[in-house]
Amino acid sequence: MIREDVPRHIAIIMDGNGRWAKRQGKPRLAGHKAGVAAVREAIGACVELEVDYLTIYSFSSENWSRPRDEVRGIMSLFVEVLAKEVRELNEQNVRVQIIGDMSAVPVKTRRAFNDCCASTAQNTGLTLVVALNYGGRGDIVAAVRRCMEDSVSGNMKPASLNQEAFAARLSTAGIPDPDLLIRTSGEQRLSNFLLWEAAYAELYFTDELWPDFSRESLLQALVEYQGRSRRYGGV
């Protein structure tokens, strides 16, 4: 693998925790717990390769429809994991950032994420972007609303609206678009993830379930990425 051709931003749809647990004869929450190790592996690999941004789809705006016990367990798991991992994140010089609507997230979980973001805010290495209660369509609608509000208030003229001005009103403002988007578990769709931002991302799908996704799995995705030609609509 050529280190010089490492993507600046990798995004991952971490799919398959529930199916992994089912194959193991365990409750779904056991799959989510097992998936934490895969997140740790991905972070470590990105730090080693000097990737600038890693965005993980941790909980979508549609995931609230899952069984109440599972959702409650996931929210508690976030609190538990953050408390254990924040020291390691600081040692790795990783900065944590959140995208998504935090207002609907339970107070304890919200506080844990806010504390983690504050604790890692001064780090200058990898930025770990956690998509929490996030949905691409909802984020686009919210950006449209901000554009309309700015237009009404006189802070923006409709004629000045372009792609850059619109992107600046998304929750991902300031974050470069993903170069490589990975989805595990064999599904081949975006599932409302980074719909605007992934316009020219290279898509990589693997049958591996997320808890089985290792450092070697990520490196394999990068090797394939490096073999592609990114033309952005050109020749």
Q: Which residues are catalytic?
A: 15, 63
* 72-78, long-range: CB < 8 A, 24+ apart: 73/29, 73/32, 74/29, 74/32, 75/105, 75/106, 75/108, 75/109, 76/108, 76/109, 77/29, 77/32, 77/33, 77/36, 78/109, 78/112, 78/113, 78/132
On whether the CB atoms of residues 61 and 101 are closer than 8 A, the answer is yes
For residue 98, the cross-strand partners are 130
Q: Which residues lie across from 13 on neighbouring strands? A: 183
* Listed residue (185, 203, 181, 220) closest to 15, CA to CA: 185
Dist. CA 213–CA 41, nearest whole Å:
8
